[in-house]
Amino acid sequence: MRMLFFELLQVALGNRERLSHVPTPEDWMGVYDESEWQAVTGILLHGIDRLPVEQRPPQDILLQWIGVGQMIEQRNHLMDKRCIELLTKLKDAGLTPTILKGQGIAQLYGKELRALRQSGDIDVYVDCGLKKALAFAKSQGQEKVEWDYKHLHLKIWDDTEVEMHYHVEVLLNLWKNRKLQKWFREHENELFAHANDNLNANLNANLNLKANTDRTNDANGFVTPTVEFNVFYILLHIYRHFLYEGVGFRQVIDYYFVLKNLNDNLNVNESYAYKAVREFGMTRFAKGLMWVMHEALGMQRDWMLWEPDEKEGRYILKQVMRGGNFGHHDERLKHSGGKLGAVKAILTHNMHLITHYPSDVIWAPVWIVWHKLWKLTRR
C-alpha cells in the first residue's frame, strides 16, 4: 500500500503518468486512510483525476474523496480571505506583516493544486516584538492571550486559528538560537518580498531567484517571503517539527514546491540560504530529505541542492510514515498529566533522535527550563 501511496503522489505532482497496477477497493481505502493521516487527501484527489479511467477508485470511494476535496477547497478560500483581512488589520495598526508557511507556501503550488493543499492555521510574522503583539491582540478584544517565546495565539475569528510570530522560528539549542535570531534580523527584507513591487523587483535582481510566481497575490495584498528565504526557513521548520513534534508528507510536499520554484540560474555556492543550512547543522537532514523527495515524490535530481543520503533518508521516511501530519499519530508523543506529561513525552520521543542530531536534541530539557524562566521575567 505504501508504494501505491507514493505512486499516486507522483502522479499528482506530474512525475508519473499511471500506477504500476490497478488497485483493489481495499488498496484504495488504505491509500485514502494514509492520505488523511498525512493531510494530503486533496493532493491525491488531483492524482486520481490524472489517472486513466481504468485505474480510478470505485465510485463510492471516489465520491467520498471528492466530497473531502470540496471541503478542502472551501476551507482554502476562507483561509485566503482571512489572510487578506488579517494583513489589512495589522497594516491599519501600523505594523508590517508577512504570511509564513501554510497559505504563503500554497501560492507556490500552482493553480491546479493550490486550492487542494490542506490548510491548517495562519502563521503571520510581524516585526514588532512581544509587547506590541500583546497590545495588538488586546486591541482586537482578546483579554486572555496565550504566548511564548516565538508567537502568541490570536483569536479574531471563531473559524480560523492565527499564530502571530514575533520570532520567525526558534531552535532549542540556546547557542544556535542566538545565532538564528541574528540571521533572521540580517535577512529581514527577504521576509517581505511582496510588500511592494519595487522591493520585490530589487530582491529578484540581487538574489537571482524567482519571486513567488502568482502575481495576483500582490494585487490582493498578500505578503510572503522570497523563495530563496524559504529554502532555509521551510527546511528549518520541517527539521524542528521532525525533532520535537513529528512531520508528515504535507510539509515534505511544501518543500518540494519551494525547490521547484527556485531559479535554475541560482548559484548554490553563493546562496545565503544554502550556506545557512550548513551553518545551522542541518546538512545531514537536508540530504536525507532529498532522498525522501526523490523516492516518494519522484523529484528530479537537478532540483536537489544536496546529494541525497539514502541511509538518512530511510530513517526520516520511517518517522514521517509513523507520525503523520505534525506527528499527530505518533504514539510516542501521546501523554497525560499536563505539562509534565508533555515534557516526559518529548524526552522519550527524542531518545531515538540523539544519535542523528545530538546538538539539537540534547538541548530540549535545557530549553524547557530556560523558557519557563524567560516567561517569568516577561510577566
Q: Give yes or no for a contact between 211 and 195, defined as CB atoms under 8 angstroms apart.
A: no
Residue 337, Ramachandran bin (φ over 0: left; ψ between -120 and 50: alpha; else beta): left
Amino acid found at 264 = D
Instruction: Per residue of the chain (379 residues), give pLDDT as tens.
Output: 899 999 999 999 999 999 999 999 999 999 999 999 999 999 999 999 999 999 999 999 999 999 999 999 999 999 999 999 999 999 999 999 999 999 999 989 998 999 999 998 999 999 999 999 999 999 999 989 999 999 999 999 999 999 999 999 999 999 999 999 999 999 999 998 765 444 444 444 443 434 443 333 443 457 899 999 999 999 999 999 999 888 999 999 999 999 999 876 678 878 999 999 999 999 999 999 999 999 999 999 999 999 999 999 999 999 999 976 444 445 544 545 566 666 666 666 677 898 899 989 999 889 999 999 999 988 7
User: What is the pLDDT, as a whole number, of residue 378?
Assistant: 83
User: What is the pLDDT, as a whole number, of residue 343?
Assistant: 62
Q: What is the dihedral of CA 164, 261, 212, 36, to 10 degrees?
A: -50
Q: Give yes or no for a contact between 360 and 281, defined as CB atoms under 8 angstroms apart.
A: yes
Measured distance CA(83)–CA(215) in Å, rounded:
16
Q: What angle do CA 294, 300, 301 make, to 5 degrees?
A: 85
For 27, the grid coordinates are 488498496
Number of neighbouring beta carbons within 10 Å of residue 358:
11
For 47, the grid coordinates are 492524482
Measured distance CA(77)–CA(201) in Å, rounded:
28
Q: What is the CA radius of gyration of the chain?
A: 21
Q: Give yes or no for a contact between 289 and 237, defined as CB atoms under 8 angstroms apart.
A: no
Pairing of strands 160-165, 151-157: antiparallel
Burial class (CB in 10 A: 0-12, 13-18, 19+), 40: buried
Q: Please state the pTM of the whole predicted model.
A: 0.88
Could you write out the DSSP letters of every residue in 237-291? HHHHHHHHT---HHHHHHHHHHHHTS-TT--GGG-HHHHHHHHTT-HHHHHHHHH
Which residue ranges make up each domain of the chain? 2-377
